[in-house]
Amino acid sequence: MAESAINVWLGSEVGLVTKTVTVTSESATPVTINGRSIIKSGSLINDSVLGYGLLVNDADVTDGARVGALMIRGNYVNAKLPTELTGEQVTALAAQGLYNITYDAD
C-alpha cells in the first residue's frame, strides 16, 4: 500500500479516540486481496462486544483474529470509506461522537 488507507477517509485527527479490539472475519465483511482476507481500513464495525466504530487500519484475518484499533470518536469522510454508510449508520455514529465531514472538494 503506497499510503496508509486511514489518510484517505480520516477527516481530522482532532478529537480522535480509538480503542484496541480483536478483529475477526465476522467483525465486518472482508475482501480478498492477493488470496488474503482483509477487513479494510474504514470498515464499519458493529459488534455487541467490540462496539460501534470504524476500523483504523486494514486487518488481515486470513489466519484468524487480529488486534486492531477501532475509532470510536472523531471525524471521517463518508464518501471515502470502503463502503459508504447509510443515513441511519451516520446518525448512530454521530450519536456517539463520530462525525461525517465534507470538504468543498468532495
- Has residue 84 been placed in a domain? yes
Question: DSSP string covering 14-59, please?
Answer: EEEEEEEEEE-TTTS--EEETTEEEEPTT-EEEETTTEEEEESS-E
| CB contact at 8 A, 106 and 79 | yes
User: Which domain does 34 fall in, by range?
Assistant: 6-100
| 30 found inside a domain | yes
Query: How many angstroms separate the CA atoms of 99 and 82, rounded?
Result: 16
Neighbour tally for 19: CB within 10 Å: 14
* 48: exposed, middle or buried (Cβ count in 10 Å: 0-12, 13-18, 19+): exposed
Q: How many domains does the chain divide into?
A: 1
Query: Does the pLDDT value for residue 45 go beyond 90?
Result: yes
pTM beyond cutoff 0.85: yes
CATH of the domain at 31: 2.40.300
Q: Tell me if 28 is assigned to some domain.
A: yes
Query: Domain for residue 106, yes or no?
Result: no
Residue 105 lies in a domain: no
| pLDDT tens-place string over residues 46-92 | 887 778 899 999 999 999 999 999 999 999 999 999 999 999 999 99
In a domain, 1, yes or no: no
